[in-house]
Amino acid sequence: MSVYGPVVKIHPVVLASIADSYERRNEGALRVIGTLLAIFRTAPLSFLNVFFDFSCFYFIFPPEVAVDMEFAKNMYELHKKVSPSEVIVGWYATGFDITEHSVLIHEYYSREAQNPIHLTVDTALQSGRMNIRAYVSAQMGVPSKTVGVMFSPLTVKYVYFDTERIGVDLLQRTRTSPSRSKGLTTDLEQVGSAAARIQDMLTTVLSYTEDVLSGKVTPDNTVGRFLMDLVNKVPKITAEDFESMLNSNINDLLMVTYLANLTRAQIALNEKLICL
């Protein structure tokens, strides 16, 4: 895809909110539109992190479209009380294509944000998957004559915080569950899962290294520099010192856990004595 502007980075919360708005849409509504918010925009703009969104109501009266901008304005004012640093950066619409109504709605958001982005999310899975695309508009035509609008595509990337990664991993596990539901894992299970992922990645790295040494794979200098940087970051420590340090930390953890349980038991006993 050609890139005519910034890289749009979308967080999972935004996509989940858009999908939820589409599922909760009014009866008979084919599309859902809404406002996109981000913390900042750089100038010149190189990337854009979209953190939040909220849906808007709209009605189509061919050949015009009416959007409840009073509702959108109130929602934005309420949101600013919680997160004043987030600003309007564009809008989204469910669906795969850009319609003639998109130009009219985009014109409004051009008054709210400089060079706003337009995000389309194929929630109906018309192409077999949820395609997500981002655009910016540019005028085209002859000056002082007929002028049209062209939507130029942008690069879309998906990013997440560590806390969002937990939710994404949990949603992925529901795909293989017969009941389509999955409970939260315990701390020990999370440690085991993280260790298994690290082991898989180490196996992949070792397999790639052996293939390069044997001549089966052409060496890549970029990958080699990443691997060298990874090796240099590993602390140099003997097996005996590592085992001693691990055992010491485990003992500290067990002591803290024992003291916490003892404190909890004392508080419960005091509550019983007070009630006598």
Model confidence over 127-185: pLDDT tens digits? 777 888 888 887 776 666 656 777 888 888 888 887 777 777 777 777 777 776 767 66
Is it true that the peptide bond before 12 is cis, omega within 30 degrees of 0? Answer: no
Identify whether the C-beta of residue 109 lies closer than 8 Å to the C-beta of residue 137: no
**Statement: residue 107 has pLDDT above 70:** yes
pLDDT, the chain, mean: 78
Is it true that the peptide bond before 44 is cis, omega within 30 degrees of 0? Answer: yes
What is the CB neighbour count within 10 angstroms for residue 192? 12
Confidence at residue 204, expressed as pLDDT on a 0 to 100 scale = 92
Q: How confident is the model at residue 200 (pLDDT cuts 50, 70, 90)?
A: very high
**Statement: residue 49 has pLDDT above 70:** no
Query: CB-based contacts of 170: which residues, under 8 Å, 6+ apart?
Result: 182, 184
Per-residue pLDDT reduced to its tens digit, 202-229: 999 999 999 999 989 888 888 889 888 8
Provide the strand spans (E) within the chain. Answer: 7-10, 33-38, 47-56, 58-61, 64-67, 87-94, 117-121, 132-141, 147-158
Q: How confident is the model at residue 263 (pLDDT cuts 50, 70, 90)?
A: very high
Identify whether the C-beta of residue 35 lies closer than 8 Å to the C-beta of residue 72: yes
Can you read off the two tokens belonging to residue 73? 């304005």
Percent over 90 (pLDDT), the chain: 5
Phi, psi for residue 197 in degrees, rounded to 5: -65, -40
> Among 158, 162, 118, which Cα is nearest to 138's?
118
- Provide the whole-model pTM: 0.61
Identify whether the C-beta of residue 168 lies closer than 8 Å to the C-beta of residue 160: yes
According to DSSP, residue 174 is labeled: G
Query: CB-based contacts of 150: which residues, under 8 Å, 6+ apart?
Result: 137, 138, 139, 140
Greatest mean pLDDT among 38-52, 90-104, 108-122, 246-260 lies in 246-260
Q: How confident is the model at residue 247 (pLDDT cuts 50, 70, 90)?
A: confident
CA distance 93 to 137: 15
Q: How confident is the model at residue 61 (pLDDT cuts 50, 70, 90)?
A: very low
